[in-house]
């Protein structure tokens, strides 16, 4: 079997989809018999196999063997861990991250919430990476904009280890328009090398490939999509767990949920504005059903959540809009079962994992054509898709009000979406598809 090395700069659950993809992919590939190493600079959210047992609420079953390389004296321990039998358990190796600007300001590089061009892997980290890549069959890099990705790509190339790059939507048209000049310069000077010399560039769907392939000289492939938590394919906990935990679910009315990191591009502010319009519609017409709006996720960056809460307060929506915080494990699945509709009014989304998770729970979703997989979602029958753009708030307002007034349409749509999602994202088939992309 192969040794597969995964690299993601930091494994922070609050960062959402890419972290989720990497966190799930490692044990899936290990389950196929491969030796899997996760290389990262922050591992606090990675479950340790010594602490893991049967899933209980927020803690997933299983875990990783963990090694932390904080000084040169730790390198022999890493070497020993790499030589031990893996036995289907992935190894997580944490290495230091440097940042020239953070150092000058007396800060820790890990205090940042974003990729910056001044971040780098110091010598100790590169020594550890060299040990990890020794004898590896492939290196899988997640993302484009971290300078450390480019450094590891060059190291792998020097060692004769092929590498695969998954941009995760970072080369989409909308993404490339944000800070366009900086990104073009970074591509030319730093990141472009890995897109020319990769064994392949893995796009997660056809739409992402169409938008991003012009930046790649390396071979490209569309699919597989991100893996999903196998817990969604096991018996689900039912809605009562969430109803006990979250008081807004016990209120009257249509329950609308935003699930994911609270980031401007995902449009949580648009949902708040729509909630204001729903309240106004109810004030002018008493027959308008009550709509309860909930956000499950953390601010990214953290101060953005504060801005959203201030927006709710300014609009007088404290009784209509509720922030639940980060919801994981059985509570998440129960929450998805307990709500009536999951809404993602995004400006750009490569995949939309939360949308598929909702459909796996039998809950219909509402999103925009700025999700690269919107065509697949619409064909699956579990999604209502809006055009997005400048009319998003009024379109969202109208669509949800129509659903609230005719909720009987939700059940058949939810059942259709669940059938499609279960057939499309079955974990065994997904693991085998990634195996083909990474090791052939």
- pLDDT tens track for 238-251: 999 999 999 999 99
Strand ranges for 215-332 from DSSP E: 220-222, 254-259, 291-296, 321-325
Instruction: Give the mean pLDDT of 253-277.
Output: 96
Predicted confidence at residue 222, as pLDDT, reads 93
Give the pairing of strands 98-99 and 119-120. antiparallel
Q: How far apart are the first and last CA of the chain?
A: 12
pLDDT at 56 over 70: no
Predicted confidence at residue 62, as pLDDT, reads 63
CATH class for the domain made up of 232-424: alpha beta
Predicted confidence at residue 286, as pLDDT, reads 87
Predicted confidence at residue 349, as pLDDT, reads 85
* CATH annotation of 3-227+426-439: 3.40.50.2000
C-alpha 305/C-alpha 105 separation (Å) is 26
Instruction: Give the mean pLDDT of 330-354.
Output: 93
* Percent share of the chain, pLDDT over 90: 80
| Alpha-carbon dihedral 147, 148, 153, 157, rounded to 10 degrees | 110
- In degrees, rounded to 5, the angle at the alpha carbon of residue 98 between the alpha carbons of residues 163 and 212 is 40
Instruction: Give the mean pLDDT of 244-269.
Output: 96
pLDDT at 51 over 80: no
Instruction: Give the mean pLDDT of 293-312.
Output: 95
Give the pairing of strands 65-68 and 91-94. parallel
Where are the chain's structural domains?
Answer: 3-227+426-439, 232-424
Predicted confidence at residue 52, as pLDDT, reads 58
* Percent share of the chain, pLDDT over 70: 98
Taking only the tens place, the pLDDT of each residue in 389-413 is 889 999 999 999 999 999 999 999 9
Across 49-53, 140-144, 421-425, the highest mean pLDDT is recorded for 140-144
Across 9-23, 333-347, 375-389, the highest mean pLDDT is recorded for 333-347
Predicted confidence at residue 61, as pLDDT, reads 46
Residues forming a β-bridge with 64: 48
pLDDT at 54 over 50: no
Confidence category of residue 1, pLDDT binned at 50, 70, 90: confident
Contact 369, 387 (CB under 8 A): yes
Q: Which two tokens mark 293?
A: 């709006």
- Name the residue among 186, 261, 240, 228 with its Cα closest to residue 14: 261
Contact 10, 45 (CB under 8 A): no
Confidence category of residue 55, pLDDT binned at 50, 70, 90: very low
Taking only the tens place, the pLDDT of each residue in 6-30 is 999 999 988 878 998 999 999 999 9
Strand ranges for 147-253 from DSSP E: 163-166, 200-203, 220-222
Average pLDDT value for the chain:
93
Cβ neighbours of residue 361 closer than 8 Å, sequence gap 6 or more: 232, 236, 333, 336, 337, 418
Contact 164, 157 (CB under 8 A): no
C-alpha 166/C-alpha 18 separation (Å) is 10
Of 232 and 315, more confident: 315
C-alpha 292/C-alpha 206 separation (Å) is 35
């Amino acid at each position: 079997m192969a040794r597969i090395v995964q690299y993601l700069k930091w494994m922070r659950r609050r960062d959402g989809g890419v972290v989720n993809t990497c966190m799930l992919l490692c044990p899936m590939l290990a389950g196929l018999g491969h030796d899997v190493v996760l290389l990262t600079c922050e591992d606090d959210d990675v479950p340790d196999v010594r602490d893991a047992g049967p899933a209980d609420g927020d803690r997933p079953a299983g875990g990783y063997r963990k090694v932390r390389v904080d000084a040169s004296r730790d390198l022999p321990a890493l070497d020993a861990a790499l030589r031990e039998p893996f036995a289907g358990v992935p190894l997580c190796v944490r290495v230091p991250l440097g940042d020239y600007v953070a150092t000058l300001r007396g800060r820790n590089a890990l205090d940042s919430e974003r990729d910056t061009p001044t971040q780098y892997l110091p010598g100790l980290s590169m020594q550890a990476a060299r040990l990890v890549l020794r004898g590896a069959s492939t290196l899988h890099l997640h993302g484009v904009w971290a300078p450390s990705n480019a450094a590891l790509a060059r190291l792998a190339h020097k060692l004769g280890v092929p590498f695969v790059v998954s941009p995760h939507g970072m080369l989409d048209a909308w993404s490339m328009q944000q800070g366009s000049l900086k990104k073009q310069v970074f591509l030319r000077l730093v990141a472009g090398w890995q897109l020319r010399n990769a064994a392949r560039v893995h796009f997660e769907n056809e739409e992402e490939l169409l938008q991003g392939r012009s930046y790649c000289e390396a071979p490209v492939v569309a699919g597989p999509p991100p893996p999903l938590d196998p817990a969604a394919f096991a018996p689900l906990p039912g809605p009562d767990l969430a109803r006990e935990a979250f008081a807004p679910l016990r209120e009257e009315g249509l329950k609308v949920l935003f699930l994911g990191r609270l980031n401007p591009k995902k449009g949580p502010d648009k949902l708040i504005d729509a909630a204001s319009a729903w309240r106004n519609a109810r004030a002018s017409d008493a027959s308008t059903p009550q709509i309860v709006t909930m956000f499950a996720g953390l601010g990214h960056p953290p101060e953005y959540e504060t801005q959203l809460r201030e927006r709710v307060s300014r609009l007088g929506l404290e009784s209509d809009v509720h922030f639940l915080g980060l919801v994981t494990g059985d509570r998440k699945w129960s929450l998805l079962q307990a709500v009536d509709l999951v809404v993602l009014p995004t400006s750009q989304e490569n995949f939309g994992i939360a949308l598929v998770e909702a459909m796996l729970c039998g809950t219909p979703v509402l999103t925009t054509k700025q999700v690269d997989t919107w065509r697949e979602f619409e064909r699956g029958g579990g999604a209502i898709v809006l055009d997005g753009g400048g009319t998003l708030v009024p379109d969202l307002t109208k669509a949800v009000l129509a659903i609230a007034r005719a909720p009987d349409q939700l059940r058949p749509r939810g059942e259709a979406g669940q059938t499609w999602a279960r057939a499309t994202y079955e974990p065994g088939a997904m693991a085998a598809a990634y195996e083909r992309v990474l090791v052939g």
